[in-house]
Amino acid sequence: MQIDQHSLVDLAVAEIQRLIYVGELAPGENLREERLSNLLGISRPPLREALRVLAHKGIVEQLPRRGARVVKLSAKQVDEIYSLRQALERFALESAFPNPDAQSLINMNTALEIMTKAAEQSDHSAIVRANRDFHVALVDLARHERLTKTYLELMDQMQLCMSDNLRTETRTVGDYMAGVKRHRVLLEAIENGNAADALEALANHGERATLSELYSDH
Amino acid sequence: MQIDQHSLVDLAVAEIQRLIYVGELAPGENLREERLSNLLGISRPPLREALRVLAHKGIVEQLPRRGARVVKLSAKQVDEIYSLRQALERFALESAFPNPDAQSLINMNTALEIMTKAAEQSDHSAIVRANRDFHVALVDLARHERLTKTYLELMDQMQLCMSDNLRTETRTVGDYMAGVKRHRVLLEAIENGNAADALEALANHGERATLSELYSDH
DNA sequence: TTAGAGTCAATGATAGACAAAAGACACTCA
DNA sequence: TGAGTGTCTTTTGTCTATCATTGACTCTAA
């Protein structure tokens, strides 16, 4: 058995992403190396490696001699992320049929159940998590490792605006339930083996518009 | 005017990729830090940052306590890269119509010209370069920065097998010209604004089969 | 031949140091 | 008063030195 062997770099990457997600590091904020390395309790070299990785992931941007800062997405960039995301999901569905991965179907169902309960309680952060799990499972239907990897990367970038989303959250239970229903329609089409319907449902999924609206003033 | 300010890390990343591409670092080869840092004339810290970046790019894999080695792609992985690539190109075309980027169209034409001449002279490495330029320009038709970035990343991974490809090269001028012709058909469909034909041409592009065959024994 | 112990080499991480460059600040001159 | 300039400080980019940890290898002994 292989024990988890995470280097400090991996831990730092995860921790910084978490700090961004919970809002302790805001988009646009300057990440000074000494401060961050003290905060995380590590020395500069591994922190610098972590920042490089984050920069490559598009979470952070590095300006020569001016250090790193948390990326602040423009409306156009959010739009691009969502359109690319949808293209990847469409490709996943097309590849998945006619033999979608069984375990992933189970995972989609589980995520949908959690999402339903969370929606009834207006537990926004649980909805966001379940939503993520649902879509990752959808992509996994295709059993395409590289696709999954690319998709996860995109999801990480999306998390940048999720914390904004948490702050500006003003939805009602009705809005949430509508979202859940859209997911249910999509999942049912997949389970029925109806590729055309599933793709149609995906095209009408319509999260993109609502989310990019939040960014219209950026 | 902004002078190019490349850190040693950036230079190291580029140089290591070049060394892999020209075959001086072979897939599967172990990359010892001290040896490489001496070779590149830099110290270990920036080299380690470069290796992290390359690992994240999928060019190199890092095993805990066992260092980094050049990734050796399996047939399945090559297949995945090509299928994902085609999905991205399809999305690019769909997004590009009805207003493809004018400059990118020019770039495609330029690349095709170069490819044609290179094919006549069986200059394989020039063909590979022109091929890359052609496809990058195709994706750029969509003016979608994140898509372009994702696509370039995939191209870098593909370069891993290109050097293999160079070694096992046994094609004739006829094969090359057939490839050039496929590209020309595709470009003409795009220039005629015929989206359906372009997508059809892309689907029949058929580089994937020939290339994955090279990997059938991996 | 093979199992086990000991040795060696490489990685993962730290600390300290320093040059170079960017930004901040005050100062001069118009 | 305001623009331009020069200095100072801070931070990054990089190097060197060092050390613990752990894989890998080798050598010995059963």
**Distance from B145 to chain A by nearest Cα, in Å?**
8
Average pLDDT by stretches of 10, chain B with 218 residues:
77 96 92 96 97 97 95 93 96 95 98 95 89 97 98 93 64 80 94 91 70 45
Determine the distance between A152 (CA) and C17 (C1') in angstroms.
40
The CATH number of whichever domain residue B26 belongs to comes to: 1.10.10.10
User: Of A44, A70, A96, which residue constitutes the final position of a domain?
Assistant: A70
Size of interface A-B (CB pairs under 8 A): 62
pLDDT at A209 over 80: no
Mean pLDDT of chain A: 89
Confidence category of residue A165, pLDDT binned at 50, 70, 90: low
pLDDT at A105 over 60: yes
**Enclosing domain of residue A26:** 8-70
Q: Which of A126, A106, A137 is nearest to A176 (CA)?
A: A126
Least confident of A89-98, A122-131, B148-157: A122-131
What was the pLDDT predicted at B206? 64
Residues of B in contact with A91 (CB under 8 A): 84, 87, 91
Q: Yes or no: say if B211 and B82 are a contact pair by the CB < 8 Å rule.
A: yes
* H or E element that contains B31: strand B30-31
Helices marked H in chain B: 8-21, 33-40, 44-57, 75-96, 102-120, 124-140, 145-167, 173-191, 195-203, 207-213
Tens-place pLDDT, residues A25-68? 999 999 999 999 999 999 999 999 999 999 999 999 999 999 99
A104 and A58 in one domain?
Answer: no
Tens-place pLDDT, residues B108-141? 999 999 999 999 998 888 988 999 999 999 999 9
Largest interatomic CA distance in chain B: 56
* H or E element that contains A67: strand A67-70
What was the pLDDT predicted at A5? 77
Contacts of A214 (CB under 8 A, 6+ apart): A161, A164, A165, A168
What was the pLDDT predicted at A166? 56
Q: Yes or no: say if B200 and B146 are a contact pair by the CB < 8 Å rule.
A: no
Which positions in strand C are less than 7 Å from the protein's CB atoms? 10-17, 21-23
Q: What is the mean pLDDT of residues A196-207?
A: 83
Q: Which residues touch strand D (CB under 7 A)?
A: A 5, 31-34, 44-45, 48, 62, 64-68; B 7-9, 41-46, 64-66
In the numeric block, which tokens belong to residue B75?
A: 């047939």
Tens-place pLDDT, residues A1-24? 344 679 999 999 999 999 998 889
Beta bridge partners of B13: none
pLDDT at A85 over 70: yes
Percent of chain A with pLDDT over 90: 70
B200 and B109 in one domain?
Answer: yes
A173 and A82 in one domain?
Answer: yes
Q: Which of A61, A149, A82 is nearest to B146 (CA)?
A: A82
User: Of B53, B70, B87, which residue constitutes the final position of a domain?
Assistant: B70
Distance in angstroms (rounded) separating the CA atoms of residues B86 and B202: 8
The CATH number of whichever domain residue B93 belongs to comes to: 1.20.120.530
Determine the distance between B63 (CA) and C2 (C1') in angstroms.
28
Within a domain: residue B3? no
